[in-house]
Structure 1
Amino acid sequence: MSDEYEVHGPHDHAVEHVGAGHGAHADADPFASRMAVMTAILATIGAIYAYQSGTSENLALYYKNEAAIKKTEAANQWSYYQAKGEKENLAELGAALSSPGSDAHAKFLADVEKYKQQKEPIRANAEAIEKDVTNNDAQSEKLLHGHHRWAQATTLIQISIALTAITLLTRKRWLRNLSMGVAVAGLLFGAAAFLSV
Structure 2
Amino acid sequence: MIRQTGATLTGSREKVLQAAAEMIAEDMGTNLSVRAVAARAGVSTGSLRFHFPTQRELREAVLRRIYGRLVSDDPILDRSVPPRDRLVSCLRQVLAPAGVGAEARRTWTRAYEAFLVPEPTEQVRDAYLAYEREGLRRMEYWLTVLADEGALPRGDHTRAVHFLRTVLNGLSLERAMPADDQILKTETETLFTAVDAVLGPATT
Which structure: larger Rg?
1
TM-score bin (small chain): under 0.3
Structure number with higher helix proportion: 1
Q: Which has the higher contact order (CA 8 A, sep 6+)?
A: 1
